[in-house]
Structure 1
Amino acid sequence: MFHLTPLVGSAIKNPPALQHVLGLRSNDGQGIISLEHRSIVRTATRPEKSGGGARTGFFPATRARTGGRSTCGLQKGRSTFRTPAGSWAVQPHYQLATAFRAEWGSPGGWAAPRPLHLGFLCEYDALPGIGHACGHNLIAEVGAAAALGMKGALESLAGLPLPVKVIVLGTPAEEDGGGKIDLIEAGAFKNLDVVFMAHPSQENAAYLPDVAEHDVTVKYYGKASHAAAYPWEGLNALDAAVLAYNNLSVLRQQLKPTWRVHGIIKNGGVKPNIIPSYSELIYYFRAPSMKELPVLTKKAEDCFRAAALATGCTVEINGGAHDYYNVLPNKSLWKAYVENGKKLGIDFISEDAMFSGPSGSTDFGNVSFVVPGIHPYFYIGSNALNHTEQYTEAAGSQEAQFYTLRTAKALAMTALDVIFKPELLERIREDFRLKLEEEKF
C-alpha cells in the first residue's frame, strides 16, 4: 500500500505550497511547463502513418507547421541511468517498433518496494493522406508535457521519501491496429496504478462514452464468366457484396439507436464484361459495450452469409486483429480532473452532455479494463471536425499550443492529487472495481 509522510501531506494541502509545487501562477503562460518544453512533441509535418513502421523516436521531435524546431530533453535512442532522481530511463522500440517507454523515479521511488506508478500515454499516428487530422501530435505533447510537469513538481520536494515513478508510454497505431492492445498483451500496463491521456476535440469533456468496436473484412468468391456471351456460367461476387450491403441497410430498422454500422465495398471486379469472381467489403460495427457488440456482430454476419447463399458464392469473414473495448468511466478521477481544470479556466461541458454526445472508439478502452485511467477531450481553439483537412491545420496551429499545455497542466495537477490524497486513490480503485464488475462479459 502506498503511504505518504505527514510532512508531504501537510505541504500539499496548503494552497500556496501547492502552487509552488506546480510552479503554477495565475495567468502564467508557462505554468508547470517551462518554455524549454513548449514544443516538446510536434509531429504535424512528418506524421507516423497509423499501423505502419514509420520512424518514431522517443518523444518524436520534428518541425511543426507553425515553424521552429521542437525540443526535448529525451532524445531518440538515448537510455540514461546516470542519476535516478534526475534522468529518464528510456527504452526505444518498446515491444513494438515505434513504441517507447520512459521512466523517472522520485528519490524514494527507486528504493521503495512498491512505488506508485503513474502512466502518461502518448499517441502520434496520423491518417493517410491528411496527416494529423485527429490531433495525435497534440496527444503526444500532452502526455510528454504532463509527465515533465510531474517530474518538476516532485523534484521540488527533493529530500522527501516519495515512492513514486512516472512512466511515459509511446503507443502507436491507435487509428488502425490497436497499438495499446499489443502493449497490454506484452505486459506494458501490468504495474501501472493510474494512467492519463487527453484527446483533442471541439469541446472540453472530462469523459465521453467511446464505444466498443469490431471490424471485419468480408471476401466473396464466385466464378468468372463472359458477362455478355454466357453470364449464366458465372457466380457474381459483386452481386453478393451488393446484397450484403443492402441486407445491412435493411437491418438498420432493427438496430438499437446506439449501434453503428458503416462500411465500404473495397473490390467489386476488374471489367464490366467479366462476371466478378471476387469482391471484398470492410465493415466497422460499434456498440456501447462489449456485452452488446457480439449481438450486433452476429446479426451482421448473418447478413453476409445470406448474400453468399443467395448468389451461390462462398464467403470468408475475417475479424480484425483486435476489438476495441468501450472506455470505462472513472468518476472519481474525472471529477478531480474537472476540479483542477476549472482552476486553470477550462470550461467543461455538463455531465448530461458528456453522456449524450457523439463518440467514437479507441484502444484506450482496452486500457480502461486493465488499469484505472482518464481519457478527457480538450478544445484546441477550432470548431473544425476531426478527420478533416481543417483539423489538420488546427492541430498544427500555434493557438492549439495554449490549450494543449493547459490540458497537460490539469492532468499533472490531477496526478499530484492521486499521489497526495490517498483517499482519492482508494476511490479511483473502487470505481474501477465496480465498473469492471458491471461491464463483465
Structure 2
Amino acid sequence: MSAIDLASARAHILAAIDRDATALRQLNADIHSHPETAYEEVYAHDALTAFLETRGFNVRRHTYGLDTSFEAELGGDTGPVVVICAEYDALPNIGHGCGHNLIATSSMAAFLGLAEAVKKTPGIAGRVRILGTPAEEGGGGKARLVEAGAFKDPDIVAAIMAHPMSLHGMKDGNHGIAGFKMVASHKTRVEFRGRGAHAGGDPWNGLNALDAAVAAYTSVSMLRQQIQTDERIHGVIEDGGTVPNVIPDYTRMNWYIRSPTAARADSLLARAKACFEAAALATGCSVKYIPTLPADCIRKRADLPRSPSEPHAVPSIHGGNEPTQSQGNVSHVVPSFHGVFGIPTAPNIPGHHPEFAKAAKTDEAHEEAIICARGLAMLGLRVLTESGISEGAKRDFHAS
C-alpha cells in the first residue's frame, strides 16, 4: 500500500472547515439563541441533524433511546473509528453559560474536516463518527449513552471533544489545555414527605418537611468542615412549600456531591445521606432519593506527542482543575481525549455565569472554537493514520 499523503489530508481538513465557515457561524448563533436544558434540546438536535443532512450525510436521529441524541458516520464498513462527541444543552435561567453552543460548533467543524480527509485521501481505511450527546448539565447524558451501548463498537479507537473556558484562566499565553483533572460526581434529588397542618391553628398536628430540608442543609454545611479540600457538596431547595400558613408536607432538594475518584465520591455520598436521613428522623418525615447516573472521573492517558507539522493544533498545557464532565464516563470504556479551549471574557468570569453566556456568542469565541476544531480534526487524522498513537492509547487504556 502506498504511503498516505498526510499533507493533502490536512489540506482537505482545512478546506472543508473554511468552506463552511459562514454556515458554521450561523449554526453556532442559532444554537446559542435557542438555549435548551437537559433532554429538551429539540431545536439543537434538529438544527445539527439538518446541517449534516444538507451536506449529504446519512443521519440517525433519536439514537440510543434518547430523543435528542443523533449519530452520523463517514467511511467504510470496517476499520478504526474516531468518535467526535458534540454537546449542545444549556443551563436553566442562564442559557449557554457553559458554552455548549461552541462545543457543538467545534465538534461539527472537526467532523466535517476529518470526514473530508477520510473521503478524499487514498489509503485512510478508518471511519469518523459524530455523536450528539445531550444532557451534559445535570442529566448524565453520556452516562446514559454509555449504558445504551453508544461506545460498544469494538472498532472505536478514540472518543474526542473539547470544552470552552475563560481565556483568562489559561497560563503562559496558551489558548488550550490538553490534560487536566476532572472529578467524579453523584447528583441526586432528595424528597422529604411529612404531614400538612395549619401553621397558626394546629401546628402540632404537622410534620414539617421544610424543617427536614433545612436540617439537612445545615448538617451538610457542618459536614463541609470535615471533608477533603478537593471535595465538594452543594445543593439547593427546589421545592420548599407554598404559603407560610401551611406546614409543608413535601420538599425537594437537589444535591451535587463531587470527589476526585468514584470510590471517594461513593464514600462522600454515604456521609451526605446520613445527614439527610438524620434530618428525616429528627422531623418525623420520610426521605426518598431520586438519583441520576453518576459522572465518573476522567482516566488519564499517556501524553499525546504533538507533531511540529500540525500548526493548526491548539497550543496545549497540562494542569488545571475542572469540575465534573461526563466525558469521564466515556474515558472508562474507550480511550478518550477531552481538551479545553479558551474564549475571551471579562476578568474573573467563570463558566456557568450569565456573562460567560454572553461571551459564548461572540465572533472571538467562535473563532477559538474553529481553531480548536482544526486541532481536533488533526488529532483524529493522526489517530487514524499513525498506528503508534491508537495502539499506545489502547495499551495505556487497558493497563490503567
TM-score computed with the length of structure 1 as normaliser: 0.80
- Tell me if 1:393 matches 2:363: no
Confirm or deny: 8 A CA contact 1:380 1:399 kept in the other structure: yes
Structure 2 Cα separation of the partners of residues 341 and 136 of structure 1:
30
- Tell me if 1:177 matches 2:146: no
Structure (1 or 2) with the greater helix fraction: 2
Name which of 229, 243, 264 aligns with 1:292: 264
Aligned length: 383
Percent identity, please.
36
Confirm or deny: 8 A CA contact 1:382 1:394 kept in the other structure: yes
Q: Which residue of 1 aligns with 2:33?
A: 45
Confirm or deny: 8 A CA contact 1:101 1:168 kept in the other structure: yes
Confirm or deny: 8 A CA contact 1:58 1:74 kept in the other structure: no
Q: Which residue of 2 aligns with 1:100?
A: 70
Secondary structure of the structure 2 residue equivalent to 1:173: coil
Structure (1 or 2) with the greater strand fraction: 2
Q: Which residue of 2 aligns with 1:115?
A: 79
Confirm or deny: 8 A CA contact 1:308 1:315 kept in the other structure: yes
Name which of 323, 341, 348 aligns with 2:294: 323
- Tell me if 1:361 matches 2:324: yes
- Tell me if 1:132 matches 2:104: no
Q: Which residue of 2 aligns with 1:256?
A: 228
TM-score computed with the length of structure 2 as normaliser: 0.88
Q: Which residue of 1 aligns with 2:60?
A: 91
Secondary structure of the structure 2 residue equivalent to 1:134: coil
- Within-5 A mapping of 1:5-20: 5=1, 7-8=3-4, 11-12=5-6, 18=7, 20=8
Return closer, same or farther for 1:145/1:182 CA change in 2, 3 Å cut-off. Answer: same
- Within-5 A mapping of 1:63-212: 72=51, 74-75=53-54, 87-95=56-64, 96-105=66-75, 109-110=76-77, 114-158=78-122, 160=123, 162-191=124-153, 192-202=156-166, 203=170, 204-212=176-184
Q: Which residue of 2 aligns with 1:82?
A: none
The one of the two structures with greater contact order (alpha-carbon pairs below 8 A, sep at least 6) is 2
Structure 2 Cα separation of the partners of residues 145 and 347 of structure 1:
18
Confirm or deny: 8 A CA contact 2:12 2:113 kept in the other structure: no
- Tell me if 1:371 matches 2:338: no
5+ residue gaps, structure 2, are 171-175
Structure 2 Cα separation of the partners of residues 428 and 138 of structure 1:
27
Q: What residue identity is the alignment partner of 2:95?
A: G
Q: What residue identity is the alignment partner of 1:378?
A: F
Q: What is the CA deviation profile of residues 385-438 of structure 1, one whole-angstrom value per residue up to 9, with x for unaligned ones?
A: 212222222111111222111111111111111122111211111121123xxx
Shift in Å, 1:282: 1.3
Return closer, same or farther for 1:253/1:129 CA change in 2, 3 Å cut-off. Answer: closer
Q: What residue identity is the alignment partner of 2:3?
A: L
Structure 1 Cα separation of the partners of residues 22 and 395 of structure 2:
36
Q: Decide which structure has the larger Cα Rg and report it.
A: 1
Confirm or deny: 8 A CA contact 2:41 2:88 kept in the other structure: no
Confirm or deny: 8 A CA contact 2:194 2:207 kept in the other structure: yes
Structure 2 Cα separation of the partners of residues 359 and 209 of structure 1:
6
5+ residue gaps, structure 1, are 13-17, 62-70, 79-86, 436-441
Q: What is the CA deviation profile of residues 164-221 of structure 1, one whole-angstrom value per residue up to 9, with x for unaligned ones?
A: 1111111111113222222222222111221111111124211221211111211222
Structure 2 Cα separation of the partners of residues 381 and 366 of structure 1:
29
Shift in Å, 1:340: 6.6
Shift in Å, 1:60: 2.3
